[in-house]
Structure 1
Amino acid sequence: MKKFLNVLSISVVMMVGMGTMVSCEEETLGLDNNVIGGEAEGNLLSLDVIAYNDTIDTIRSDRFVLKNATLGAYNENIFGTTSSKFYAQFRPSIIGNQDFHTEPKVDSVNLVLPVFYKTTDKPLSVDTIKLSRAENPSSEIADTDTILITTKYKVDSLYGKKDLKMTLNVRDINTTLLADSKYFSKLNGNDNLISTNSKPIGTLSIGNTVETKVVKQKSETTNIYSETVGYKISLDKDYFEEKIIKNAKTGLLSDYATFIRENIKGFEFSVEENDGFILNFNPSNISLNMYYSYKNPVEKGDDKDYKERLSGVYGFDFSNQWASLAGPNVLVNEIKNNFIGTKFGDAVANPNKIEGDSRLYLNGMSGSYIGLKINQNQLEELKTNLNKGNIAILGAKLKLYIDDSYGFPKPPYITAINYYKKEGGDYISEMYQDSKFQIDAQQYFYNSYPNSVHFNPIVTGKTDYYTIDITGHLKQMLEKGVKFEDQEMRIFMGNFLINNSTSTVYSDNNPYRLDRSFNPYRVVLHGNKTEDVTKKLKLLVYYSKK
């Protein structure tokens, strides 16, 4: 019986006797001319791989990984249906018992769910209305006039059927979200650990455009009023009368712990439809304000501008650990997949782990992954031949070609981790080491975006394949004799999470700090058994022989 380790299935006989060898000039390696000393002869070996479809049924989907969040539903016949609900904890911006004055009344409550939009593109429309007509009855707008500017943008963070409308509902939840708990999505939908009240406290039809309003004096650079660009939802005034106004002196607003455990435990954001689009958004930027009025405590007197009632604003904070100013709020996505009867479902139900699959399926917000393995005996034989031939390894890259006949939008990234058995029998997952980034002769994983991405370069434009660079890993095994027992490369949709400040990977030692829990992309790739020999999945090993 053959024992497979991972990443590739190398035919040493093919490589030594009749292996594919071409000049390095035909493949971009990205190395300086002085990588190795002396005069070197550049060569490329094209090595076979074994790759197959697989999946896991649970992924982590809490603030540990949710730099962005999702909600919505999308269905097509290759991968099936993915749906997502979002749960968010929030706190008052100002904590403590409140004085809402005499005869307080909630006038309106506005929640804005932020969206991503292209700031470099022109807005779809801009309308300007003069508000100060009493002071200046002319139809012309003077520099001193107060104006309302309504701007419409196209949403740039939808995946799926973008032209459809979906019904967004906001509900309050009954389950206390705990900061020290881990939250996972059981992707088949069997588990739902967070309960909600059935009646929505806010509803809005959402689509591919949003409007935002700004009030300002025409000649001024600062705004009198402005909104977050996003979906603006009016919430139930009575709900906030009960939860906020009536609890001003009860102690339920006195501290954060009491507020999130006994008063408002959080909101659920979900859609009614089973098909449409997945919305991607930054949960830290959710805006929620309660606008209220109260009886003027001052007698009217002779003041011509006297107002019987005055107004106030009570705000809330949704910031979490990913915000520029980190906050403590817990956030959770509940993701469900239904791929029964689809091509993806059939592929993961019947993977060919001996010979590999002809097509490989990856979708975000799921447990799908590609497994790759290598013959351990052949790897040892390759190591022997390399040592005898005075060969230096310059690079090792996997090329995974996109099957564009399916027409999915091209994902910018896929990524991979190393899964193997440690001494003692426990399996672990690790990040691959980068031969181009060393400290004290030790290799570490390093990607710096956007200009220094060695491991998994971004795919844009007409590029029709993904690259996974395992140079450091192969050199570890062949040159340093490092062994990885029962090894398997696992390739996922998406990319590593990135630091806000440094543009490097958020964690260089935890391989599961990935964006796959909020990455909606789908892609079909050519496998090692594809009928298109020009796009066969393979490992390219670049080497020099003096």
Structure 2
Amino acid sequence: MIYNIRKVFTLLSVMVLGGVLVYNCEPEPDSLGEQLFLNGAAEGVESSYDLIAYNFKNNDTIRTDAYKLLNIIGSSSTSSTAVLGAFNESQFGMQRASYFTQVRLAADNPDFGTNAVVDSVVLVLKPSYRIDSLIATTTDENYVYQNGGLDANGNVGTNIDAKKVVSTYPITKFGKTKKKLTLEVHEVKEFMNGYNDYVYSDKKFDTYTPLLGSKEIKEGNVSAVTITKDSDNSQITPSSAPGIRIQLSPTLFQSKIIDKKGQPELSDASNFIRHFRGLKVSVAEDDGYLFQFAPNDMELIMYYKNDLAVAGAPPKRPQTKYEFAVKFTNMHSAYYEYNRTNAKINDFAFGNKEIGDEKLYAQGMGGNSIGIKFKKEEIDILRKLYQDDKAAIISAKIRIYTDEIEWVNPYPKLGAQDFTIVQRNKDSAGKETTAFTTDPTSLGATFIPVRAYNTDKNPASYEFTVTRSLKDIVESTDTYDKYKDKYFKIDLAQFLPNASGAIAGYNSTSRAFSMGRTVFVGSNSSSDKKIKLLVTHGTKK
């Protein structure tokens, strides 16, 4: 394919590292070789070369502690993401996600007053939802708000005439959206260590058998409630993101919290997290869908009544709200289960680093990554072109197609932003090293790491820029042995920013909570959609 400078300058949209573009046309050369096209000084010809592409097995395990889930890369960052749910399909089998968190007191040695009795306890989760897809709004103009506290006259439980508005949105899901899920909460039995400790996704902390609470999400929706006074239209309850409210056992919180008032168990955080070790949130089903929620937006609220002395009258018992700390400095972790029995991944995902795998099964949350190596015989051809014909590499991209037979389904399609790519090699001591590909440094602000094509069609395809990485090998005087261990690792994830907005590092990604998965065509010699290396050479006229 012949390129010229006019086509190069049609690429007007550029982004920094982590940026992506989506196309439905043929790709263009990157800016590394633009100078070779100036004034018609060179022509470019694109050729394809074989690659060794294989399933990189992560043993269904990934680091999923607080550092990875809460995304505290920079000191001012407070973002967080975790996953709940279960999804079972024929290609990858079953994947189920549970969540563990410690609980802390709002302050040491809380005073719950005299004769305190728990009324209710609620755990609130804030899932990701589609804010642009309001399903329904219901309004109760005759709602009466039960005020559990004291009014200005010292009366308890004053009713307030109000209006209640419930707005319902669909949860953002990956999987079978019409399935129901049942959320379950258990008390953790095992001490979960500290906030800074490493935890991996195959770690299942022991829990007590009795359920603390459960909640069935029938339609996979979430609601926000707004209550306003009839008298002046002011809000009675503060606005918050739509949430899932799970009622927990008042009995347990009575015995573990209220009845321990003034005792060592509530004296400080260290004692408390060994007394009440935390909560596990899971799902009862093994099929349905996965969804993300924000741990830093979780709420654990205990409502209780206690005696309040009133001069010249019997004690009153107003309702008080106590909010536990379930975010930021607590230990958090995710637990992922897999059952690949009879799944098609078993027939193709062998991880063959010598000839590659026919199909590639990429999956987030600790599933397979994709490994890609240059073939020595192809490098020899490229070196000969460079040395004998002075054919400079202007552009080099890895093109990969989704499997048009194995991956036909209604599940969300991957965009270019859903991939990360790094390069790995061995140093002089034989230790494997990992780093960004060398292209960001070479191309600077014009670097576009991944492009997506035809994501609304079957098959879709994706291209990964590896120009500088290939040139480093082809144009080097070193023997191939120096590069024989070099390979690329592609994950279904995104690079995460630090507090200032810059990419935090090659190992700071969303892999721990990336729900996506896709089947790609690998090193399948019989397929015209096999993974390939596309190289554009430039030669002077």
TM norm. shorter chain > 0.5: yes
Question: Cα distance, 1:185 vs. partner?
Answer: 2.7
Question: Which of 463, 470, 490 does residue 467 from structure 1 map onto?
Answer: 463
**Alignment pair present for 1:426 and 2:431:** yes
Question: Cα distance, 1:32 vs. partner?
Answer: 9.3
Counterpart position of 1:140: none
Question: Which of 282, 289, 311 does residue 299 from structure 1 map onto?
Answer: 311
Counterpart position of 2:62: 59
Q: Is the 8 A contact 1:358 1:531 kept in 2?
A: no
Q: Is the 8 A contact 2:455 2:461 kept in 1?
A: no
Q: Is the 8 A contact 1:228 1:287 kept in 2?
A: no
TM-score (normalizing by structure 2): 0.81
Question: Which of 169, 191, 200 does residue 153 from structure 1 map onto?
Answer: 169
Counterpart position of 1:202: 213
Q: Secondary structure at the match of 2:255?
A: helix
1:63-462 map, 5 Å:
63-66=66-69, 67-92=80-105, 94-131=106-143, 146-156=162-172, 158-177=173-192, 178-186=194-202, 192-207=203-218, 208-217=220-229, 220=233, 224-260=237-273, 262-299=274-311, 308-319=316-327, 327-348=328-349, 350-376=350-376, 378-405=378-405, 406=407, 407=409, 408-412=411-415, 413-435=418-440, 437=441, 454-457=448-451, 461-462=455-456
1:492-531 map, 5 Å:
492-499=491-498, 502=501, 504-507=502-505, 510-511=506-507, 513-529=508-524, 531=526
Identity, in percent, stands at 28
Counterpart position of 1:42: 44
Cα distance in 1 between the residues matched to 2:378 and 2:28: 27
Q: Which amino acid aligns with 1:73?
A: A
User: Over residues 400-447 of structure 1, what are the superposed CA-to-partner deviations in whole Å (9 max), with x where a residue is unaligned?
Assistant: 111243224312323332232221122233221224x46xxxx88x8x
Worse-matched range after superposition: 366-375 or 457-466: 457-466
Cα distance in 2 between the residues matched to 1:108 and 1:264: 18
Cα distance in 2 between the residues matched to 1:419 and 1:146: 62
Cα distance in 1 between the residues matched to 2:338 and 2:304: 42
TM-score (normalizing by structure 1): 0.80
Question: Cα distance, 1:34 vs. partner?
Answer: 5.2
Question: Cα distance, 1:171 vs. partner?
Answer: 0.8
Question: Cα distance, 1:315 vs. partner?
Answer: 0.6
Counterpart position of 1:545: 539
Question: Cα distance, 1:59 vs. partner?
Answer: 2.0
Cα distance in 1 between the residues matched to 2:113 and 2:208: 30
Q: Which amino acid aligns with 2:360?
A: L
Q: Which amino acid aligns with 1:497?
A: L
Counterpart position of 2:154: none
Question: Cα distance, 1:456 vs. partner?
Answer: 2.6
Cα distance in 2 between the residues matched to 1:61 and 1:133: 41
Change (3 A) 1:35 1:65: farther
Cα distance in 2 between the residues matched to 1:133 and 1:425: 69
Q: Which amino acid aligns with 1:59?
A: I
User: Over residues 175-195 of structure 1, what are the superposed CA-to-partner deviations in whole Å (9 max), with x where a residue is unaligned?
Assistant: 222223211134xxxxx4511
RMSD: 3.0
Q: Which amino acid aligns with 1:473?
A: S
Question: Cα distance, 1:116 vs. partner?
Answer: 0.9
User: Gaps (5+ residues) in structure 2?
Assistant: 8-25, 70-79, 147-159
Cα distance in 1 between the residues matched to 2:145 and 2:436: 64
Q: Which amino acid aligns with 2:524?
A: K
Q: Is the 8 A contact 1:112 1:228 kept in 2?
A: no
User: Over residues 132-171 of structure 1, what are the superposed CA-to-partner deviations in whole Å (9 max), with x where a residue is unaligned?
Assistant: 699xxxxxxxxx9632211211111x22122111221111
User: Over residues 291-340 of structure 1, what are the superposed CA-to-partner deviations in whole Å (9 max), with x where a residue is unaligned?
Assistant: 11112211356xxxx98212221112222xxxxxxx22221111122213
Q: Which amino acid aligns with 1:537?
A: I
Question: Cα distance, 1:268 vs. partner?
Answer: 0.5
Worse-matched range after superposition: 215-224 or 285-294: 215-224
Counterpart position of 1:15: none
Question: Cα distance, 1:45 vs. partner?
Answer: 2.2
Cα distance in 1 between the residues matched to 2:88 and 2:368: 16
Cα distance in 1 between the residues matched to 2:215 and 2:115: 30
Q: Is the 8 A contact 1:22 1:45 kept in 2?
A: no
Cα distance in 1 between the residues matched to 2:234 and 2:46: 60
Q: Is the 8 A contact 2:32 2:395 kept in 1?
A: no
Question: Cα distance, 1:224 vs. partner?
Answer: 3.0
Cα distance in 2 between the residues matched to 1:486 and 1:47: 19
Change (3 A) 1:471 1:317: farther
Cα distance in 2 between the residues matched to 1:415 and 1:44: 25
Q: Which amino acid aligns with 1:369?
A: S
Cα distance in 1 between the residues matched to 2:145 and 2:87: 47
Q: Is the 8 A contact 2:133 2:170 kept in 1?
A: no
Question: Cα distance, 1:22 vs. partner?
Answer: 4.2
Cα distance in 1 between the residues matched to 2:221 and 2:436: 39
Cα distance in 1 between the residues matched to 2:452 and 2:269: 42
Q: Is the 8 A contact 1:360 1:527 kept in 2?
A: yes
Cα distance in 1 between the residues matched to 2:55 and 2:472: 27
Cα distance in 2 between the residues matched to 1:46 and 1:536: 11
Q: Is the 8 A contact 1:102 1:297 kept in 2?
A: no
Question: Cα distance, 1:286 vs. partner?
Answer: 0.8
Cα distance in 2 between the residues matched to 1:56 and 1:308: 60
Cα distance in 2 between the residues matched to 1:121 and 1:421: 49
Equivalent pairs counted in the alignment come to: 481
Q: Is the 8 A contact 1:51 1:373 kept in 2?
A: yes
Question: Cα distance, 1:103 vs. partner?
Answer: 1.5
Q: Which amino acid aligns with 1:316?
A: F
Change (3 A) 1:119 1:223: farther
User: Over residues 467-515 of structure 1, what are the superposed CA-to-partner deviations in whole Å (9 max), with x where a residue is unaligned?
Assistant: 211122123223455743412222222222344651x4332xx43x332
Change (3 A) 1:391 1:113: same
Q: Secondary structure at the match of 1:386?
A: helix
Question: Cα distance, 1:43 vs. partner?
Answer: 2.5
Change (3 A) 1:227 1:385: closer
Cα distance in 2 between the residues matched to 1:31 and 1:385: 21
Change (3 A) 1:133 1:112: closer
Worse-matched range after superposition: 108-117 or 144-153: 144-153
Q: Secondary structure at the match of 2:385?
A: helix
Q: Is the 8 A contact 1:172 1:265 kept in 2?
A: yes
Q: Is the 8 A contact 1:215 1:226 kept in 2?
A: no
Cα distance in 2 between the residues matched to 1:226 and 1:56: 42
Change (3 A) 1:392 1:223: farther
